[in-house]
Amino acid sequence: MRLEGGATPNALLGLLSLGPMSGYDIRQLISQSIGHFWSESYGQIYPGLKRLAAAGLVAKKTERGKGSPDRHVYSLTAEGREQLRRWLKLPVAKEVPRNELLLKLFFGAQVSPNVSREHVQGYLELHQRELKTYEAIAKRLRKEEADDPQLPFWLMTLNMGRHRSRAMVKWCRETLAELEELERRKKGGT
């Protein structure tokens, strides 16, 4: 794991910049914050924190639990915050495109059009659900985190999700219509 340039360790530093946390906390927080555009598994989080601690970028404190297992709480050190800032300034790495729906759709002529139709239908429903989630999160954030100077940035990321999902819903509807037309032509023979 490259500590300087890799997104994963720096994502951990970023989350710890919001406050001290355990590996378990981080996993929970991800699903409530950056979950719609980023994810990490325990297999990345626990060894990642260990390495960050060894490099002096985070500090570890053990809270003895009575009965329940010990909590290992990590917090950002000054060097850790510096490293996070350095990484934030680096150009964004270009993303490797990987969209399995489009891959299947591209080869859609190999199977019945209603196979593709079902895939697109599933994608439509996914993005309709996401739109609702975004609205709910935005509403909650504007109430509960109204004073946080980070709020504008959080809303920007949500706003991208909204734009993207709206576009996807529109595309799905267009594409469903086209697929139904293809099906009709195939059956009708016209």
Partner DNA sequence: GAGGACATGTAATGTGTTACATGATTAA
Partner DNA sequence: TTAATCATGTAACACATTACATGTCCTC
25 binds DNA (CB under 7 A): yes
Select 71 or 154, whichever has its Cβ closest to a second copy: 154
Two tokens at 148?
């946080």
Select 84 or 179, whichever has its Cβ closest to DNA: 84
Please, what is the angle between helix 151-188 and helix 113-144, to 10°?
160
123 binds, among DNA, a second copy, none (CB under 5 to 8 A by kind): a second copy
Taking the C-alpha atoms of residue 149 and residue 91, their distance in angstroms, rounded to an integer, is 23
Of 4, 41, 45, 2, whose CA–CA distance to 21 is shortest?
Answer: 45
Taking the C-alpha atoms of residue 17 and residue 75, their distance in angstroms, rounded to an integer, is 8
95 binds a second copy (CB under 8 A): yes
Q: Measured at the alpha carbon of residue 40, what is the angle toward residues 39 and 43, in degrees to the nearest 5?
A: 160
Closest approach, Cβ 84 to a second copy, in A, equals 6
Cβ(83)–Cβ(13) below 8 Å? yes
Stretch that binds DNA, among 66-74, 76-84, 116-124, 175-183 (CB under 7 A): 66-74
122 binds a second copy (CB under 8 A): yes
Taking the C-alpha atoms of residue 122 and residue 141, their distance in angstroms, rounded to an integer, is 29
Tell which one of 23, 80, 113, 161 touches DNA (CB under 7 A). Answer: 23
Select 72 or 81, whichever has its Cβ closest to a second copy: 81
Could you tell me which residues come within 8 angstroms of residue 85 by beta carbon, excluding any fewer than 6 positions away?
none
Please give the residue ranges that form the binding site for a second copy (CB under 8 A).
7, 11, 14, 17, 33-39, 81, 84-85, 88-89, 91-93, 95-111, 115-116, 119, 122-123, 149-150, 152-154, 156-157, 159-160, 163-164, 166-168, 170-171, 174-175, 178, 182
Please give the residue ranges that form the binding site for DNA (CB under 7 A).
1-2, 5-8, 22-25, 28, 39-44, 46-47, 49-50, 65-73, 96, 98
